[in-house]
Structures are given as C-alpha cells and as structure tokens.
Amino acid sequence: MIEPENHRAQRFEKKKKEMIKMKKKALGIILSVLCVLLLFSACGGKDKKEKKKSDEAKVKVEKEESEEKEDDEEEEVKLSPEEGTPFTTEAVRDVTMGPVTVHCQWIPFESPYIVDDIFSGRVAAAGDRVWILADGKLKEYQYANDAVTFVKDIPIGDGYSEITADEAGNLYVSSKLSNNAFLRIKDGNIEELAKGIGPVKMQRSGNVGISALFDIKKIVVADGTATAQDWMPQEYDIISTALISENYAYIGGRSEELDAYIVKAYDMEGNHLLTFGEKGKDGDDWIAYVSQMMEIPEGFFGIDANMRDLYIWGPDASVLGSVEAPDLFGARYAWIAGAAKQDDGSILVALTQDRDDDSATELLLYRLSGF
C-alpha cells in the first residue's frame, strides 16, 4: 500500500522539527559545558595568581628573615677587648680658655684600662701616687714623667664609689651605702673613720670634708674618727653637687626661681659668697651639671659633665673661658668621670670613652696644666 503523499510530507516535517529540537538541545548542552569550562578556567587562573602572590610573599618573608639573621649574626660577632683597637690620640694639645692656655697631656696606662660602668671612674692624687676607683675596684699607681705605673690593688669591699686624697698622701674612700664605713688609707693601713656618713669629698688639708647624702654635712676628721655636723641650709629638692676646695664648699641643684641648675659657693662657716649660673637658662653662664670645682690662680676651674664642657670662672664667678671636651681631649663623646688636683696645681682628669669598634670602654687619664 502506497503511503499517501500528504502523510509522507507531514511525517517528514515532524521529523525535521524533532531534529531541529534535538540540535537546539545539544547546542544548549554544549554551551553549558563551555560555560562550566570557562568558569573553571577563570577560577583556576585566579587560584594560580593567588598562589603566585602567596609564593612571592613567602619568598619575600624568607628573604627578610634571612637578612635579619645575617644582621643578627653580624651583631653577635663582637670584638673582644683584646681583639679590638685601643684608643689613641695626640699626646699633647694646647687650648686657649680665656686668659689661660691649657696644656693637655694624655697619660696612657701600661695596658688599656677597661671598664664596665662609664660613670664609675674616680681619680685621686698626692705626691707621686695616683689612685683610680672604677667598677668598685681600687688601684694604686706611681706617677712620674707623664706616665703611670701600676703598683697594687687595694681591697676595700663592695659598694664604694668616691675617693679623695689629702696633701699628706692619705686616701679617703666613701660610699652611698649607709652600711659601708667611711675609710682612710694611711701608711698602707685601712682605717674605719665612721659609718652612715655617705659619699664624702675631703679638703686637701685632710681636716674637713663635705657630704650630702640627705642633708648637707660638714665632715670633721680628728683623732682617727670622723663626725658629721650640720652645715648650710638645704635649698634644693635634690642636691646634685656637693664639692669642697681649699676655701669653699659648693652646693648645686635646681633653682625654682631661675628654673635652672646653679651652684652656690660658701665659706667654711656656711656663708653664701658666690653663685655660678645665676643668669639662668638663657644666660651666657648657663650650666647643666657641675661634677668638679677647684680653685686656681685665675679663680675657679670646673667641669660640666652633662654638656662635656670645661670652664674657667673669675673670682666673681663670671665666665672667663670654656672649651668642649672633644677639642681638649681628642675623645669623641667621653664621660668626664673624675678629677683631682696635684701638688703642683695641675689637674688630673679621668674620662671613660667607647672605642670606635665598640670592643670595650676605656678609662683615660689626662693632665691639665698652665693655670
């Protein structure tokens, strides 16, 4: 039986529509797959970028840690005092301070004097003897021909911080610790003069000294004992300076009126005679902290330890001249730890100075003359 022509045409048209429908469906599936692939590819690219960034950051951190480790290793490789280069400078310098040409002589030790505490260096002198107290250890030297030769260690116990000597060659050793005795070393013997007196600076006469642990006291030494007597009134909240010379006692602290540090000079009866730094913080005589004061023919010699300046004042406390420590001593930024007058009127000065290679801190000794 032959299929009618119209039936065959209808069936062909139906099949054609089904094929078109299947093609559209297949195309939709293909497009969906492509979208998924594209999305996956995009995500994968992003992950790769993130991973690359993460890897780069990790490498950067590892590099920084490596550099820090190298820096730490370099810091750890510190030279010992024996491996380092000792301090050296010109043997002699002449510097003008007002009316005086100061002759500065560097006095090297036989071997570098290494210290731990830069503030601890003290010096005392009498005759041909020089004593150094640093890091709590007391050493005696012989001074001759602008050189010092080690003589001996002197055992004094712990906690001592100040030394002064009188013209007879007696050495006085004191401490801020109240339970430490005030000592006198006489003819090689160590004597206990008193307890609870505090740090003492003695006159070169050896009869009178000054202490200002809490209150200002006159220290009188007689018959192998020392007694503390009330002296001038307490004018400062904190006493920063308490020194003594042949004819004056010096007390320094912050003046409320001037809003500045000053030093007042008194006679042995406690009468106020002079004021150093009385023009205040804006004056040409301004000082920060005076650690040493001595009488010289021109008036007074003093050291401003905080500013590393040395001064000559006239008899009326006016500034005649000054010099910065590096210009006088040839030391970069030394702490001026102590000073002592010798029998001939010259002055020994002890400094502490870090070496340029940081291998150690040295105590340095200089002699100033020309006053």
pLDDT greater than 50 at residue 191: yes
pLDDT greater than 60 at residue 75: no
State pLDDT tens for residues 78-125. 899 999 999 999 999 999 999 999 999 999 999 999 999 999 999 999
Q: Please give the single-letter amino acid code of residue 353.
A: Q
* Whether the Cβ atoms of residue 248 and residue 203 lie closer than 8 Å to each other: no
* Whether the Cβ atoms of residue 329 and residue 104 lie closer than 8 Å to each other: yes
How far is Cα 350 from Cα 337, in angstroms, rounded to an integer? Answer: 6
Q: What is the pLDDT of residue 318?
A: 97
State pLDDT tens for residues 127-183. 999 999 999 999 999 999 889 999 999 999 999 999 999 999 999 999 988 789 999
How far is Cα 315 from Cα 125, in angstroms, rounded to an integer? Answer: 25
Q: What is the pLDDT of residue 6?
A: 43
pLDDT greater than 50 at residue 77: yes
Question: What does the domain layout of the chain look like in residue ranges?
Answer: 9-77, 157-231
Helix (H) or strand (E) holding 250: strand 249-255
Q: How confident is the model at residue 338 (pLDDT cuts 50, 70, 90)?
A: very high
Q: Please give the single-letter amino acid code of residue 151.
A: V
**pTM assigned to the model:** 0.79
315's CB contacts (< 8 A; 6+ apart) are: 299, 300
Q: What is the pLDDT of residue 177?
A: 86
State pLDDT tens for residues 322-334. 999 999 999 988 9
Q: What is the pLDDT of residue 4?
A: 41
State pLDDT tens for residues 15-72. 445 555 555 555 555 555 454 444 444 445 445 445 545 555 554 556 566 666 555 5
Distances in Å between the Cα of 242 and the Cα atoms of 102, 107, 119, 176, 215 are 26, 28, 17, 13, 11
State pLDDT tens for residues 205-257. 999 999 998 889 999 999 999 999 999 888 888 899 999 999 999 999 999 88
Q: What is the pLDDT of residue 61?
A: 54
Q: What is the pLDDT of residue 21?
A: 53
How far is Cα 274 from Cα 207, in angstroms, rounded to an integer? Answer: 23
Q: How many CA atoms lie within 13 A of 62 on its CB side?
A: 6
Q: How many helices (H) and strands (E) does the chain have?
A: 2, 26
* Mean pLDDT computed over 259-285: 94
Helix (H) or strand (E) holding 134: strand 129-134
Helix (H) or strand (E) holding 138: strand 137-144
- Token couple for 163: 């030394």
358's CB contacts (< 8 A; 6+ apart) are: 78, 79, 84
